[in-house]
Amino acid sequence: MKNDMSGSMAKSNSELIQAFKNLLGKEHVAVGKRRTEHFVTGWRSGKGTALAVVFPQNLVSFWQVLKLCVESDCIMVMQAANTGLTEGSTPSGSDYDREVVVINTLAMDKLLLIGEGEQVVSFPGTTLHTLEKKLKPLDRTPHSVIGSSCLGASIVGGIANNSGGTLVKRGPAYTELSLYAWVNAQGELKLVNHLGIELGDTPEAILTNLEKGQFKPSDIHYDCGKASATDYVAKLRDVEADTPSRFNADPSRLYEASGCAGKIAVFAVRLDTFPKPKIEQTFYIGTNDPSTLSTLRREILTTFKAMPEVGEYMHRDIFDIAEQYGKDTFLSVKYLGTDQLPKMFAMKAKIDAVLNRVPFLPIFISERVMQGVAKLFPKHLPYRMLQFRYQFEHHLILKMSDDGIDEAKAYLSNFFTDNSAAGGYFECDAEEAEKAFLHRFAAAGGAMRYQTLNQSKVGDILALDIALRRNDSDWVESLPESISCDIDKRLYYGHFFCHVFHQDYILKKGADAKAVKTKMLRLLDSRGAKYPAEHNVGHLYEAESALQSFYRKLDPTNSFNPGIGKMEKHKRNCSCC
């Protein structure tokens, strides 16, 4: 037994585990290496250990779990779908100074509509997929769409990590309206209601009323903060600015839950939704000259009255990798839909975790099976896309809506008529548009699959997401020989109008990934780029000073997710430090 910072008598490990079981039921508490392995292992990399993984089923029990953890002086790692790419939603190693409890929030997945759906309140486990389904009959769309790496991402996870940006008009996931718990400098757990909704005076009353939707329209305030990044279009149109349009450590996007990276426990966030366009049209653009796309970007952002809905870039090399190694993802989404896929991927990860321990089986056997099955299906990409792949190195998928469609048609027709050597484009029919975006969606998974299935021939994968300056016309990087000599494949894709790029490097066998990354980040620094752009620092990147200050303000005792941003893991504001 030991005293915690608040003066309460801490429970022993066995007593704490039993208290979790009494509170949540045995089936909602995982203990031991086998039962916790999936939840302490990152989506792409990273692994740690935990005393327990707990699964609160409602907001009040979530609060009570936090109280038990604080009373016993435990570290709390918040986790929803565990789809982060920088190890930020799992423990990292076993060198913490306190016991670690992972709190998985996926069971708390309610979504409340405000008004006619103009805004929503999302619970901590609600996914983007759920939000899209809920809004569809209302002819409204969410702040973000399902990303390029996974299908199960949660709404709160996106807010906490400043994710998103695929939708040009809406920018990164952001809100100033949230309900969260934090541990203050005196070690006291406090609940903060900044949702802009009157819900009661005590934590239990607030959480119960929210859970049951027990509040009136008159309890909702509309003048208490932003529920989306309303200034983003103006930032994008400023193409002469010498800074990126969005990046993880942008101080203007750090506000309580937004950008918190699990340094507080978020119970709910309130977000804007948006009217669904009446009509949409996708244009597929190809060129061998990067300056062509630079010109298109600048002129569309500065001269068009209507902004694009989406503008996704793919290089020919990632086109090829996604075609071959992302085919099963493409076919699964197209023919099975997205309803069950998050559960299927989670089940696949658990199966891999078990089978990878069997000595006589090849590792990642499920990946090999899925790859083999996909090969049995006929070609899945449209003829015109494949023709552009052979003609052009650089590809841009541009989606316009409503009044912007005619604007884009006139502009692209004139541009390529006057500059026939610059490249070409075609207007996608409905099937081509769907397949173009599915192909782009499969890119990140395709890169991972390639590296996984070719581990005997290639080294690690170095995955970076970077934000270039808005005025940077030289967006195609030129690598020095000291870096390129260690790279087997360079795979480039991203959100072109935002100048945010995903750059996956498959290293040569034997290459030192840490050394290559150090050189690469030094090169990016010299270009004025920011990283990571939208996947958070996690345990892979050093947090900039402004971001470190933000984390310390949210979590003065270092009780939540310590060590992210390569910061200290030990307790702060205590007698020992």
pLDDT above 80 for 98: yes
At 350, give phi and psi (nearest 5°): -65, -40
The predicted model gives 52-71 an average pLDDT of 98
* Higher local confidence (pLDDT), 467 or 86: 467
pLDDT, position 81: 81
The predicted model gives 428-434 an average pLDDT of 97
**pLDDT grade, residue 52 (50/70/90)?**
very high
**pLDDT grade, residue 8 (50/70/90)?**
very low
Tokens representing 167? 């939708």
Percent of the chain scoring above 70 in pLDDT: 93
Tokens representing 98? 């306190």
The three-state DSSP-derived secondary structure of 38-105 is HHHECCCCCEECCCEEECCCCHHHHHHHHHHHHHCCCEEEEECCCCCCCCCCCCCECCCCCCEEEEEC
pLDDT, position 391: 97
Any idea what the Cα angle at residue 284 is, between residues 283 and 288, rounded to 5°?
A: 135
Q: What is the CA radius of gyration of the chain?
A: 24
The predicted model gives 567-573 an average pLDDT of 92
Residues 371-430: tens digit of each pLDDT: 999 999 999 999 999 999 999 999 999 999 999 999 999 999 999 998 889 999 999 999
Using the Cα atoms of residue 466, residue 467, residue 469 and residue 473 in order, give the sign of their dihedral: positive
Element (H, E) at 495: strand 487-495
Residues 469-480: tens digit of each pLDDT: 999 999 999 999
At 284, give phi and psi (nearest 5°): -110, 120
pLDDT above 80 for 494: yes
Lowest model confidence (mean pLDDT) among 31-45, 275-289, 341-355, 400-414: 341-355
* 535 DSSP assignment: S
What's the maximum distance between 2 C-alpha atoms anywhere in the chain? Answer: 79
pLDDT above 80 for 235: yes
pLDDT above 70 for 298: yes
pLDDT, position 343: 66
Distance, CA of 362 to CA of 348 (rounded, Å): 15
Percent of the chain scoring above 90 in pLDDT: 79
Residues 156-199: tens digit of each pLDDT: 998 998 887 788 999 899 999 999 999 999 999 999 999 999 99
Residues 263-282: tens digit of each pLDDT: 999 999 999 999 999 999 99
Q: Say whether pTM exceeds 0.85.
A: yes
pLDDT, position 146: 63
pLDDT, position 5: 42
pLDDT, position 515: 96
First to last CA, the chain: 20
pLDDT above 80 for 78: yes
Tokens representing 78? 């918040």
* Residue whose pair of structure tokens reads 């409890």 in the numeric block: 101
What are the helix (H) ranges across 442-574?
443-453, 481-484, 513-526, 545-554
Tokens representing 559? 């009780």
pLDDT, position 338: 66
Element (H, E) at 292: helix 290-303
The predicted model gives 135-159 an average pLDDT of 81
Q: Are 459 and 488 contacting, i.e. CB atoms less than 8 angstroms apart?
A: yes
Residues 318-334: tens digit of each pLDDT: 999 999 999 998 998 88
Lowest model confidence (mean pLDDT) among 173-177, 399-403, 453-457, 503-507: 453-457
pLDDT, position 149: 45
Q: Are 220 and 196 contacting, i.e. CB atoms less than 8 angstroms apart?
A: yes
Using the Cα atoms of residue 33, residue 67, residue 125 and residue 160 in order, give the sign of their dihedral: negative
pLDDT, position 346: 65
Give the closest residue to 347 by CA, choosing from 328, 366, 372. Answer: 366
pLDDT, position 7: 43
**pLDDT grade, residue 1 (50/70/90)?**
very low
Rounded to whole angstroms, what are the CA distances from 132 to 129, 337, 426, 449? 5, 13, 29, 28
At 94, give phi and psi (nearest 5°): -135, 25
Share the mean pLDDT of the chain.
91
Contacts of 238 by beta carbon, 8 Å cutoff, 6+ apart: 470
